[in-house]
């Protein structure tokens, strides 16, 4: 059973926490202490908690001071702060060692998920400190990766609209990652001017601390979080496939949906993303080179065992009187086409304006089909996988990283 300690000077927080947990130990104070001494004295002789839920409502300044005092001797203590001043306290709380800030108005399920993630982190750290093999990280959210063998097929348009459409249903629970690390233009498609870029997410404190990572994400007006490609193609050299895998694992442990836009083809970074992917969107146009490339990509991913069951084939820029019919395409790629997105001038205007169609709500046949794609993706993910495996006497084997070896195998397959 998860051991939770509530340190509070606000009586209402006990009922708030009770709705999201099966039990906890309440330490109630008239005024929240600003040092760890009183809390540690009460804990004497008791098992140390997996998670400390800290009252940041009554006196945020004292709560941050207490968090710093608790984490100073042991930075691995998992502290969740309850506060309605998330934006104002984020940086100070991060420096004090707080893992996450939760508003006192969130639904019990959301608070429960935050506690579960913190518990998993505590168990992982405890096993590592005991010299045991840690429990393999289990993805909580769904990673939806959009790929195509060729450029110029509207992949970024699809990825941005998909992310905006999901964020409309799950604001602040969806993040979009631009993995076209040399020439990605997700930022332009969403009219963003980010302060931080992909390299900032895989370096320094953000690489290890979800709280630090969340404070440097770019927030879109729709409630979507965005990680933009490097500002300069030169910076792409600093990002490895392992960096990508670790970033997506961390994002999936913090967000319900992670949408990934990739570069054309199967680069090391795309393969690393595919190794973390739960839902795959394969995109092509109706042109002969694009369809042939899609067939080759499907065959390659099948050989690499990266062709997810939750996958959808999308034909973009579809024209009913084109050289190829949908039947021709399905015969070539040996699988069905799930969505046809018609060619649309509105899409070009949306890209130029930096306002996705699913944000503007422009009435257009393409908008209707994009909504259908979003609905289909959400329908496939109604039951997300658990945030961590059930307790067991046996420690599961850590899943090995395979991005580099798969990239080598892919080069041989493509060359052959």
| 297-320 CB burial, b ≥16 within 10 A, e <16 | bbebbeebebbbeebbbbbbbbee
pLDDT at site 139: 41
DSSP codes joined into one string, 80-128: EEE-S-HHHHHHHHHHHT--EEE-TTS-HHHHHHHHHHHHHHHHHHHHH
Cβ proximity of 35 and 73 under 8 Å: no
Cα 103–379–337 angle (5° rounding)? 140
- Alpha carbon distance 414, 416 (integer Å): 5
Give 241's contacts (C-beta < 8 A, 6+ positions apart): 268, 269, 271, 272, 403, 404, 407
Q: What is the largest CA-CA distance in the chain?
A: 78
How long a stretch of residues is the chain?
Answer: 416
Q: What is the mean pLDDT of each run of 10 residues along the chain (416 residues)?
A: 84 89 89 91 85 92 92 78 86 83 88 80 54 44 94 95 94 93 93 91 79 86 93 85 92 94 94 94 94 94 88 92 88 94 92 93 92 91 43 33 41 44
- Alpha carbon distance 310, 333 (integer Å): 17
pTM of this structure: 0.64
- Alpha carbon distance 229, 187 (integer Å): 8
Q: 273 in helix, strand or coil?
A: helix
pLDDT at site 112: 86
């Amino acid at each position: 059973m998860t051991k939770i300690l509530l340190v509070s000077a606000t009586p209402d927080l006990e009922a708030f926490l009770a709705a999201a947990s099966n039990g906890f130990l309440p330490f109630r104070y008239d005024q929240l202490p600003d040092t760890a001494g009183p809390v540690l004295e009460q804990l004497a002789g008791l098992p140390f908690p997996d998670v400390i839920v800290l009252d940041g409502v009554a006196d945020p300044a004292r709560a941050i001071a207490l968090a710093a005092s608790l984490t100073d001797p042991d930075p691995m203590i998992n502290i969740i702060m309850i506060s309605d001043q998330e934006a104002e306290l984020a940086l100070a709380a991060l420096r004090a060692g707080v893992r996450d800030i939760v508003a006192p108005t969130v639904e019990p399920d959301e608070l429960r998920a935050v506690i579960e993630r913190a518990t998993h982190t505590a168990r992982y750290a405890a096993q590592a400190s005991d010299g045991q093999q840690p429990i393999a990280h289990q993805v909580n959210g769904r990673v939806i990766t959009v790929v195509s063998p060729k450029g110029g097929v509207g992949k970024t348009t699809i990825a941005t609209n998909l992310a905006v459409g999901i964020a409309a249903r799950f604001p602040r629970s969806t993040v979009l990652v631009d993995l076209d690390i040399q020439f990605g233009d997700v930022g332009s498609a969403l009219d963003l001017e980010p302060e931080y870029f992909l390299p900032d997410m895989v370096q320094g404190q953000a690489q290890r601390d979800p709280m630090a990572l969340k404070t440097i994400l770019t927030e879109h007006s729709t409630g979507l979080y965005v990680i933009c490609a490097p500002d300069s193609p030169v910076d792409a050299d600093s990002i490895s496939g392992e960096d990508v895998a670790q970033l997506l694992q961390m994002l999936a442990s913090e967000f319900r949906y992670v949408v990934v836009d990739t570069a054309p083809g199967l680069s090391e970074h795309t393969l690393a993303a595919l190794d973390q992917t739960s839902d795959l969107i394969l995109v092509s146009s109706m042109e002969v080179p694009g369809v042939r490339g899609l067939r080759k990509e499907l065959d390659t991913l099948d050989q690499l065992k990266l062709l997810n069951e939750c996958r959808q084939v999308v034909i973009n820029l579809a024209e009913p009187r084109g050289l190829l019919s949908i039947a021709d395409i399905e015969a070539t790629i040996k699988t069905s086409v799930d969505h046809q997105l018609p060619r649309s001038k509105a899409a070009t205007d949306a890209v130029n304006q930096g306002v996705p169609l699913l944000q503007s709500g422009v009435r257009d046949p393409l908008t209707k089909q994009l909504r259908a794609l979003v609905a289909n993706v959400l329908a496939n993910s109604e039951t997300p996988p658990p945030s961590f495996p059930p307790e067991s006497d046996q420690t599961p084997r850590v899943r090995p990283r395979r991005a580099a070896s798969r990239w080598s195998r892919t080069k041989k397959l493509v060359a052959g």
